[in-house]
Amino acid sequence: MLNGDKDSVVTMTYDFVPTEVISYAPRDIPPVLRRGDFGVGSDGSIDYPQYQPDQATGNAFVKISASDIDNPSGVDLMGIELVDQQAENTNIMMTTTGDLRLYARNATTPWTRLYTSGEADTRYLIKSNNLSDLTNFESARSNLSVYSKSETDNKFMIGPNNLSELTNVVVARQKLEVYSQSETDAKFLQAANNLSDIVDTAIARTNLGINSTLENDAKYLQVENNLSDVKDVATARTNLGINSTIENDAKYLQVSNNLSDVSDAAAARTNISVYSKAESDATYVPKTTTVNGHALDSNVTVSKADVGLGSVTDDPQLKISANLSDLSNVAKARTNLGINSTIENDAKYLQVSNNLSDVADVDTVKQNIGLDRFKQSPSETMIYPSSGQNPYRITIRPNGDWGTWRDDTGTWEPLKIVAGGTGATNKKDARLNLNIPAAYKIIPDGTNILVGL
């Protein structure tokens, strides 16, 4: 029903009338909770006494009398008892008179005292007091098995004293297996003595495998003798593979002889590929010969007239040395040769140094060379089956993920069974498609028992 007009609020009233009963069921009326039940509203009076069960059957406010054997304090306790289908209930209780004390227990832990901050201060050591609140320092050190400062000073040696408080130095050295200074000086060689304190130098040299000066002088050649102390000069030359002066003079050409001691001059010329005077005169043209009247006593310069080109001028011809710089019209010359200028080539062709960055249309180039189906991004490489809006692509990612991806759904496409896959993206569907049960039992063809797995 619609009510209201221009001067009042418009309201709509709806009447809902049930047409059928969908379902119904009876329900027990729960017991009525009255004051005093489970300790709710109890005040300890005759009308509303405190709730004191052996074990509450529901969450309750309870009292444990001082005389109760279950009371850990010796005075009346009051608090709450919580029930949660356990063998024992959970309680949090406090004393009703005297010092304030808190107790708690649960189904697996017996009564435990909960200390207030004031009680904890008197029961435990305070960190900020740095152990100054210990009642007996000597007993504390004994419990920790540590010494006091005076005990430590009396029992142990102090580092700065550098072992001066040793009571028996000799015994200490024996324990450490070290020598005294006098024992060391008597037992070992002194560096400052430079081995002069060796008892037997001959035995020392034998132990070191070295010779004395006299033995070395008798055994080895002296540098200052310049090999004059060689016993057998001929044998020495043989050992060194060298000749004597007489042998060298008989075997080799002498510089002072200027090749006059060559035994066969003709063979020597052949060996070094040179001509004799007679052979040179017979082979080469004398300098007195002329070419078109030019003597051969220097570099011969042949003129145009000498070669029959006296009528040819220099101006119409291009000079080799000018390297085409003497062209009168460079542009026309390029046209005649069918070539482009550097500027024209740069504008017309791709530059090698640009590495294809000067391509006018990258997409067209990809199509021309058949690479338009390949795409890359920082996170994956994609291969599409055809150009256009085909949603399927093969994707390879750096973490090793690969397969067929659908761009339109944003999901992996399972590899079909005909292609060697399972046709699924999870284990259950894979077993279903391949007709393999979870327990790997053989299933007859045509059955479909995995539908409910």
Q: What is the pLDDT of residues 12-30, one digit of tens each?
A: 888 888 888 888 888 888 8
**What's the pLDDT at 214?**
85
Between the CA of residue 135 and those of 52, 122, 127, 131, what are the distances in Å? 42, 11, 15, 9
Angle at 290 between CA 288 and CA 291, to 5 degrees: 155
Residue 314 predicted with pLDDT over 70: no
Q: What is the pLDDT of residues 351-361, one digit of tens each?
A: 788 787 777 77
Q: What is the pLDDT of residues 113-137, one digit of tens each?
A: 998 777 766 777 778 888 877 878 8
**What's the pLDDT at 371?**
67
Q: What is the pLDDT of residues 200-225, one digit of tens each?
A: 888 988 998 888 888 888 778 888 88
pTM: 0.29
Furthest C-alpha separation in the chain: 165
Residue 178 predicted with pLDDT over 60: yes
Radius of gyration of the chain, Cα coordinates, nearest whole angstrom? 60
Residue 282 predicted with pLDDT over 60: yes
Between the CA of residue 396 and those of 65, 392, 414, 417, what are the distances in Å? 77, 13, 15, 21
pLDDT band at 388 (very low <50, low <70, confident <90, very high): low
Phi and psi angles of residue 80, each rounded to the nearest 5 degrees, phi first:
-120, 150
**What's the pLDDT at 310?**
65
Two structure tokens written together for 164: 């001066």
8 A C-beta contact, residue 151 and residue 142: no
As a whole number, the mean pLDDT across the chain is 82
Residue 154 predicted with pLDDT over 60: yes
Q: Which of these, 83, 105, 85, 84, lies nearest to 93 by C-alpha position?
A: 105
Range name among 166-170, 355-359, 381-385, 404-408 with the lowest pLDDT average: 355-359
Burial class (CB in 10 A: 0-12, 13-18, 19+), 283: exposed
High-pLDDT (> 70) share of the chain, %? 92
**What's the pLDDT at 79?**
96
Distance CA 209, CA 220 (A): 16
Strand partners, 11: 3
Pick the residue with more confidence: 367 or 440? Answer: 367
Average pLDDT over residues 387-404: 82
Average pLDDT over residues 172-196: 84
Q: What is the pLDDT of residues 66-104, one digit of tens each?
A: 999 999 999 999 999 999 999 899 999 999 999 899 999
Reduced 3-state DSSP string for 188-235:
CCCHHHCCCCCCCHHHHHHHHCCCCHHHHHHHCCCHHHCCCCCCCHHH
Distance CA 131, CA 144 (A): 13
Phi and psi angles of residue 335, each rounded to the nearest 5 degrees, phi first:
-65, -45
Residue 407 predicted with pLDDT over 90: no
Pick the residue with more confidence: 10 or 102? Answer: 102
Q: What is the pLDDT of residues 319-372, one digit of tens each?
A: 788 888 877 788 888 888 888 888 878 777 777 887 877 777 777 777 677 666
Average pLDDT over residues 220-248: 85
**What's the pLDDT at 125?**
76
High-pLDDT (> 90) share of the chain, %? 15
